[in-house]
Amino acid sequence: MCNNCKNRIAYKPKLLDGKEEIKKLLEVVKYLTQEREEQIYPDDVVDIFRGGKTAKIKQKKWDSLPVYPTEKRKILKTKELVQFALIDLVIRGLVQEKIILRKTFESSKILSSNIIITGVASSTQANANMQT
């Protein structure tokens, strides 16, 4: 028996249902990417979902958005868990992203990259509601 199996038996981890918070995360992505001209980065989504109080959130007045939380999250508590959940949604094809490559200088061979969130897959919200 491996250590993971032994630990699972010994510590009896609690399984938590995060569906509602995942739906909220999808709502944040959908709201931020609908009809907006600005680029939305994964950290923007994570910070808004967590109710962050960063300078960028205050400057852009994102703390007044209807998707900005009024209470702390119960399942996706840490920044790392939210980042993991967002990446998982991208891998599953539920959240769409683009990778933008740019030359640092016109004559340079070095590229810099940015990942931006572009939206929620069209059938995602319907599927999320049906699986509840």
pLDDT at 129: 47
Cα–Cα distance, 28 to 23 (Å, whole number): 9
Report pLDDT digits (tens) over 27-71.
999 999 997 788 999 999 999 999 999 999 999 999 999 999 989
18-130 carries CATH number 1.10.10.10: yes
Report the sign of the C-alpha dihedral through residues 17, 18, 23, 26, in that order: negative
Range 6-27 average pLDDT: 85
